[in-house]
């Protein structure tokens, strides 16, 4: 007899748990079905060899997910990670901010067991809803030994991505995600996981970030540069009490001379990370810059915010934070 596997599925809400008019893919309410409702879609043959247990963390639109819910989720995974009966974890999540939650977990969960995040682009009541198959494939991936030690994974539309590079790529299509610079790590085909490549950056058990039940994250701002943007908007961040700022520049992270001067001043007070608003490629240092600049590398601005918040919980020294951006 095939040995029984056990997977814990944490529900966070989102479109996968959304409902609306029968057959329609828009104008629905996310986060209406509990995780146990979603698990009703697991076929009997999977249940015969996999025990699946649901736990509800929250049931919200992912635009409303908070850092405290990130911490709660990471703590619950860490609390069960040492249980020898648990083979892996799955998180159902809204797609809007799924990549940010995935990257946070990639930096904070302390296990080599598979942690797989999935969601849906269509609500549960839509014609050809994609959530049920995404969930089934995520559970299969969470029990596959090849997924062990790869860090947090995102399983969506049959493709598997690393948490660091995954990015939402469409507002409506069912193939909702891409690997920003690296492509996908593999594919789930029926019961098989085909692994093409492995993540190269440190993650999970190899990070210094330790979140506890009472932990909280520093506040970090994000500013996007565009042509003729008023640099005065940057003053809001210094006056609002944020401890760090991510600036999404044009091209390789560039901005106007006015912005450059203002950011140089701000970087004497708080940590400033330079990123690119472009979908691929790294931010590059500008020789004219004189401030305490941290380069965000090829991280998207939204993921740079996640890493900066964690980094500032450890240190406020820009040169040490720079090393973290190079490592993670």
269 within some domain: yes
211 within some domain: no
Among residues 140, 169, 125, 97, which one has the least CA distance to residue 26?
125
186 within some domain: yes
Claim to verify: residue 114 and residue 88 sit in the same structural domain: yes
Claim to verify: residue 17 and residue 145 sit in the same structural domain: yes
Please list, in sequence order, all residues whose beta carbon lies within 8 angstroms of the beta carbon of residue 85, skipping any fewer than 6 positions away. Answer: 6
Whether 62 has a binding-site annotation, put simply, is: yes
Whether 96 has a binding-site annotation, put simply, is: yes
Dump pLDDT digits (tens) for 32-64. Answer: 999 999 999 999 999 999 999 999 999 999 999
228 vs 61: CA distance, rounded Å? 34
Tell me the residue range of the domain where 79 lies.
5-206
Identify the pLDDT of residue 289. Answer: 64
**Of the candidates 158, 181, 206, which is a domain's last residue?**
206
Claim to verify: residue 49 and residue 195 sit in the same structural domain: yes
Confidence label for 286 from pLDDT (cuts 50, 70 and 90): confident
Quick check: 288 pLDDT over 70? Answer: no
Identify the pLDDT of residue 212. Answer: 85
Identify the pLDDT of residue 258. Answer: 96
CATH assignment at residue 321: 3.40.50.40
Q: Is 95 a catalytic residue?
A: yes
Identify the pLDDT of residue 1. Answer: 53
Q: What is the mean pLDDT of residues 198-207?
A: 98
Identify the pLDDT of residue 215. Answer: 79
Q: What is the mean pLDDT of residues 144-165?
A: 99
Q: What is the mean pLDDT of residues 210-218?
A: 85
Alpha-helical runs (H) found in the chain: 35-38, 44-47, 67-81, 98-108, 131-142, 233-240, 257-266, 301-312, 318-327
**Of the candidates 158, 173, 206, which is a domain's last residue?**
206
Claim to verify: residue 268 and residue 321 sit in the same structural domain: yes
170 within some domain: yes
Q: What are phi and psi of 311, to 5 degrees?
A: -60, -45
Whether 287 has a binding-site annotation, put simply, is: no
74 vs 137: CA distance, rounded Å? 22
How far is residue 169 from each of residues 99, 165, 174, 246, measured CA to CA in Å? 11, 12, 10, 21
Q: What is the mean pLDDT of residues 245-268?
A: 96
Please list, in sequence order, all residues whose beta carbon lies within 8 angstroms of the beta carbon of residue 37, skipping any fewer than 6 positions away. Answer: 17
Q: What is the mean pLDDT of residues 234-241?
A: 93
Q: What is the mean pLDDT of residues 165-171?
A: 98
301 within some domain: yes
Claim to verify: residue 142 and residue 246 sit in the same structural domain: no
Identify the pLDDT of residue 282. Answer: 96
Identify the pLDDT of residue 287. Answer: 75
Q: Are 43 and 29 in contact (CB under 8 A)?
A: no
Claim to verify: residue 157 and residue 89 sit in the same structural domain: yes
Question: Is the overall model pTM greater than 0.75, yes or no?
Answer: yes
Confidence label for 132 from pLDDT (cuts 50, 70 and 90): very high
Residue 87: which H helix or E strand, with range? none
Quick check: 285 pLDDT over 90? Answer: no
Q: Is 66 a catalytic residue?
A: no
The 271-276 sheet, strands edge to edge: 220-224, 244-249, 271-276, 293-295
Confidence label for 2 from pLDDT (cuts 50, 70 and 90): low
CATH assignment at residue 109: 3.40.50.1170
Claim to verify: residue 232 and residue 303 sit in the same structural domain: yes
**Of the candidates 157, 175, 206, which is a domain's last residue?**
206
Identify the pLDDT of residue 36. Answer: 98
Identify the pLDDT of residue 133. Answer: 98
Dump pLDDT digits (tens) for 99-131. Answer: 999 999 999 999 999 999 999 999 999 999 999
100 within some domain: yes
Distance, first Cα to last Cα, the chain: 41
254 within some domain: yes
Catalytic residue, chosen from 50, 92, 95, 108, is: 95
215 within some domain: no
Domain total of the chain: 2
């Amino acid at each position: 007899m095939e040995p029984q596997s056990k997977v814990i599925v944490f529900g966070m809400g989102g479109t996968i748990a959304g409902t609306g008019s029968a057959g329609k893919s828009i104008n629905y309410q996310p986060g209406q079905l509990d995780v146990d409702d979603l698990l009703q879609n697991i076929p009997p043959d999977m249940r015969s060899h996999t025990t699946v247990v649901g736990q509800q963390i929250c049931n919200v639109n992912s635009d409303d997910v908070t850092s405290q819910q990130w911490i709660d989720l990471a703590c619950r995974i860490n609390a069960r990670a040492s249980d020898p009966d648990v083979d892996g974890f799955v998180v159902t999540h809204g797609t809007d901010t799924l990549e940010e939650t995935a990257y946070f977990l990639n930096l904070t969960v302390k296990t080599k067991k598979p942690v797989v995040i999935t969601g849906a682009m269509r609500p549960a009541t839509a014609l050809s809803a994609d959530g049920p198959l995404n969930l089934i494939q995520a559970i299969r991936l969470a029990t596959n030994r090849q997924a062990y030690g790869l860090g947090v994974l995102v399983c969506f539309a049959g493709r598997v991505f690393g948490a660091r590079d995954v990015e939402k790529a469409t507002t409506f299509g069912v193939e909702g995600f891409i690997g920003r610079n690296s492509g996908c790590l593999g594919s789930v085909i029926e019961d098989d996981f085909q692994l093409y490549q492995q993540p190269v950056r440190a993650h999970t058990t190899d990070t210094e970030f330790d979140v506890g039940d009472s932990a909280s994250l520093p506040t970090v701002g994000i500013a996007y540069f565009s042509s003729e943007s008023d640099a005065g908007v940057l003053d809001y961040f210094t006056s609002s009490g944020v401890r760090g700022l991510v600036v999404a520049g044009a091209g390789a992270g560039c901005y106007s001379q006015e912005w450059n001067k203002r950011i140089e001043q701000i970087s004497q007070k708080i940590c400033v990370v330079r990123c690119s608003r472009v979908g691929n490629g790294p931010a590059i240092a500008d020789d004219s810059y004189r401030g305490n600049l941290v380069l965000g590398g090829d991280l998207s601005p939204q993921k740079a915010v996640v890493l900066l918040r964690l980094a500032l919980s450890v240190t406020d020294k820009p040169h040490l934070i720079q090393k973290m951006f190079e490592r993670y």
